[in-house]
Amino acid sequence: MSLEITVHEQSCRGCELCIDICPTKVFALDEEKRLCTVVHGEDCIACLSCSYICPSGAISHRDFHLVKNFYRDEEFCKKMEKFL
Ligand code: SF4
Ligand code: SF4
């Protein structure tokens, strides 16, 4: 099972804060809709920065506790160093 990230389109105002803050570049702006979209959900390290910073509360995560467990894996942590 992997983490699920949802951007609620009705709430997103396209401010791009989540794009700026995400250390692993999970989000991109959909220029046409002026909304952010999840483009690399598999790279999410579940830091939850995007959820905290979003002024509209538009981002939610499911099953992130499972991803958090990766922090206990030394190999995974080494891989993540370049993003932090
Ligand atoms: S921070 Fe929230 S409102 Fe701003 S672009 Fe991201 S999802 Fe949309
Ligand atoms: S939880 Fe962290 S890594 Fe995952 S999408 Fe949000 S800012 Fe990016």
Structural domains in the chain? Answer: 4-83 (3.30.70.20)
| pLDDT reported for residue 67 | 61
* 54 Cβ closer than 6 Å to some ligand 1 atom: yes
Name the region of 67 (left: φ>0; alpha: ψ -120 to 50; beta: rest): alpha
Torsion of CA 43, 44, 47, 50, to 10 degrees: 120
Low-confidence ranges of the chain (pLDDT < 50): none
**Predicted model pTM:** 0.80
| pLDDT reported for residue 64 | 74
| pLDDT reported for residue 53 | 96
| pLDDT reported for residue 36 | 96
| pLDDT reported for residue 38 | 96
Are 14 and 36 in contact by the 8 Å Cβ rule? The answer is yes
* 50 Cβ closer than 6 Å to some ligand 2 atom: yes
> CA 3, CA 65: separation in Å to the nearest integer?
8
| pLDDT reported for residue 45 | 87
| pLDDT reported for residue 74 | 77
